[in-house]
Amino acid sequence: MKKRERDKELPSSEFTKTDINIPINRENFFKEFLTKVNDFKIDNSYFIKIIKYIDDYILTKSLGIEQQLIELSNAYYSEKLVLVFGAGLSKNFGLPDWNTLLQELILITFQQESHQSYDNANVLAKLYTHFFNPNPLISARFLRNYFIKEEISSFEELVRKILYKNFKKDSLSKSNLLDEILQFCVAPGKSPNLDSIITYNYDDVLETFLSKQKIKIPFRPIFKVGDKPRLDELPIYHVHGFLPQKGKLTESHKITLSEDIYHEQYTNIYSWNNIIQINKFRDNACLFIGVSLTDPNLRRLLDIANTQRGEETPQHFMFKRKFQINELNELLNKYLKENKEIYDEKVMANLKLEDTIKHLVNMKQKFEESDALSFGISIIWIDDYGDIPNILKKIRRRPNK
């Protein structure tokens, strides 16, 4: 790329929100960036132009934190607020995320196939994951089919066992986040109250917490066709399946983990869980906590709902942690040191690392804001996940308009 070409102003047709595709993994992001620096000798001035362009694009659509809180509070007091939970909620209590769950299942497979001890199989499983980086959906499909074929155990029973293996039940009572969520759940059937809760987690952490409270909170976990809450019950929709700690598991408890089940849900637009999500995303203001926008089915459903939303429909919101300059600086320096043969001294001298990191962080956050806005979601940037309870408290207390 010649200098005079890259110094041109970016025409709007060349950089639209649908073109944005940023790697989720931070280290991969730096690898791609540095490769482009090496190939094209991109300098800081070009990044500044891109950032200015994105700023101009997003400025008219982004909301400040005060306006975000007002809109969320209005949605709550209008009984149009839906809380949407992902793995980030349960992980704090010792439950595994999706990748950790798969690694545990792979470990059992290695034990069965190689007749190794637990420790040896654990090493094999970690090495396998590290070197081959298996696709999670494909791995889950293989594992589900393997356990069914070998008749080792009910797949869902096995997943449940792994799910709660390190569950820290005592920590529920010490969670500021759950305490604040509780305040939103205490008045189902009364006013103001939540419209509902959607969770992508299989576990019953939230139900366990609510049932332990001194005050009775009517709620109903919904995870299959035909489940309907009463008017005085708060519905908790487990749209990827439900594996409670106790009780017999049936066909209704089938979870969306393996690729074939995922495809079944993806292709059946009229499945109960797809319909619930589309309706809630279309008609309500959803606040996403511990959820990322990397799931293709979630993105598809948000897109469908977004095309059906009216002008007066409230916006959605999502918590995201700001990218930390110090953390990214360490990652970039580490990568540069490990790849000295690729980046010569001239390139290193032109990088101006501190400024480059700031530009990268700014650009990455603007990209994510633009991507989220394309689904009708406004990002609430936080310094730490521990900030969420205080923000929830402000929403309940109704900020001044």
Domain shared by 256 and 233, yes or no: yes
Domain shared by 199 and 75, yes or no: yes
Q: What's the pLDDT score for residue 238?
A: 97
Q: What's the pLDDT score for residue 220?
A: 95
Contact 291, 262 (CB under 8 A): no
CB-neighbour burial class of residue 273 (10 A; exposed 0-12, middle 13-18, buried 19+)? buried
Distance CA 42, CA 34 (A): 9
Domain shared by 311 and 257, yes or no: yes
Contact 80, 283 (CB under 8 A): yes
Whether 302 maps to a domain, the answer reads: yes
Whether 53 maps to a domain, the answer reads: no
Domain shared by 196 and 262, yes or no: yes
Element (H, E) at 248: none
Domain shared by 109 and 225, yes or no: no
Six token digits for residue 117: 């001890």
* Single residue among 163, 194, 218 that ends a domain in this structure: 163
Whether 37 maps to a domain, the answer reads: no
Domain shared by 115 and 221, yes or no: no
| DSSP conformation class of 168 | -
Element (H, E) at 33: helix 26-40
Q: What's the pLDDT score for residue 206?
A: 96
Q: What's the pLDDT score for residue 151?
A: 59
* Single residue among 163, 180, 209 that ends a domain in this structure: 163
Cα–Cα nearest to 224, from 281, 265, 259, 260: 265
Domain shared by 246 and 186, yes or no: yes
Domain shared by 240 and 181, yes or no: yes
Whether 335 maps to a domain, the answer reads: no
| DSSP conformation class of 212 | T
Whether 389 maps to a domain, the answer reads: yes
The separation between CA 41 and the C-alpha centre of its own chain, rounded to angstroms, equals 34
Alpha helices, H only, 115-245 = 118-132, 136-150, 155-163, 176-185, 205-211
Distance CA 309, CA 315 (A): 10
* Single residue among 108, 132, 163 that ends a domain in this structure: 163
Could you list the residue range(s) of the whole structural domain that residue 146 is in? 98-163
Query: How many residues would you count in the chain?
Result: 401
- Rounded to the nearest 5 degrees, what angle is found at the Cα of 168, between the Cα atoms of 195 and 206? 10
Contact 95, 166 (CB under 8 A): yes
C-alpha to C-alpha distances, 131 to 122, 134, 141, nearest whole angstrom: 14, 9, 20
Contact 255, 156 (CB under 8 A): yes
Q: pLDDT, tens digit, for every residue of 18-67?
A: 333 434 444 455 555 555 555 555 555 555 555 555 555 554 456 788 89
Contact 284, 302 (CB under 8 A): no
**Three-state DSSP class for residue 49:** helix
DSSP β-bridge partners for residue 288: 84, 318
Domain shared by 85 and 188, yes or no: yes
DSSP β-bridge partners for residue 136: none
Whether 137 maps to a domain, the answer reads: yes
Residue ranges, the chain, pLDDT below 70: 1-62, 110-126, 128-140, 144, 148-153, 188-189, 258-266, 336, 339-354, 399-401
Domain count, the chain: 2
Domain shared by 150 and 134, yes or no: yes
Domain shared by 187 and 309, yes or no: yes
Biggest alpha carbon–alpha carbon distance for the chain: 70
Distance CA 220, CA 209 (A): 13
DSSP β-bridge partners for residue 289: 85
Six token digits for residue 181: 């969520």
- Domain of 202: which CATH number? 3.40.50.1220
Domain shared by 144 and 228, yes or no: no
Whether 286 maps to a domain, the answer reads: yes
Contact 372, 17 (CB under 8 A): no
Cα–Cα nearest to 295, from 137, 163, 138: 137
Q: What's the pLDDT score for residue 5?
A: 39
Place of tokens 């891109």: 50
Whether 4 maps to a domain, the answer reads: no
